[in-house]
Amino acid sequence: MEPLAAQPLRSGPRAKALAVLLALALCAGTLLLLQLRARRPRARSFYAFEVKDAAGRPVSLEKFKGKLFGLCLPTWPATATHRQQLLGAAGAAPEFGPFHFSVLAFPCNQFGEAEPRPTKEVVSFARSTYGVTFPIFHKIKILGPEAEPAFRFLVDSSNKEPRWNFWKYLVSPEGRVVRSWRPEEPVDAIRPEVADLIRQMIIRKREDL
């Protein structure tokens, strides 16, 4: 008995209509997912993020809310300019504060690989050599797909992406970016704006009493 020859599949009107419906359903589902992703709420405050402290433990930035913060990307102070930046940051923290202003430091090794040391050594050097007392966090990345989300927020909010170490951001008590400064701009350039914002903070607090 001869085997039956394979019959070619025929696509009738119903099969074509079903294929079209499936394609439309797939397109609709894809568009819906894209819309939901676009509508996903974005963080509106720097304090909404979580970072790692120098020991690698997660810490919420919410604990710093209510103060004015200067954030910088410190590195090994190999030049006189770098030393002045670190000394300036160390002096600015106690000058205005501790209740109104502080500095948060995030070491980064993405700029000329200028900070290859482990975070522990970075902290030890800053504390022992320059008397730094402000928080120094775990080394982060701020460029590329692995960028720290908290710093990505600063970059997106200010439209200013750091080009080198000692890039500085000023963050309001509400978690908004006030301004940013390039590495070559000294910490002294920040002081007048910090002092003015602190005066505004004090006035608002008195009015709320």
User: Quick one: 165 exposed, middle or buried, by C-beta within 10 A (0-12, 13-18, 19+)?
Assistant: buried
Strands 68-72 and 101-105: parallel
Determine the residue type at 107.
P
Geometric angle at alpha carbon 50, from 45 and 51, rounded to 5°: 120
Instruction: Using the Cα atoms of residue 80, residue 84, residue 85 and residue 86 in order, give the sign of their dihedral.
Output: positive
Has 27 been annotated as catalytic?
Answer: no
Helix, strand, coil shares of the chain, percent, nearest 5, are 45, 15, 40
Q: Whole-angstrom Cα distance, residue 100 to residue 69?
A: 9
C-alpha 88, offset from chain centre? 22
- Separation of alpha carbons 73 and 112, rounded Å: 13
Contact 75, 165 (CB under 8 A): yes
Catalytic residue among 61, 72, 89, 126: 72
Residues identified as active-site: 72
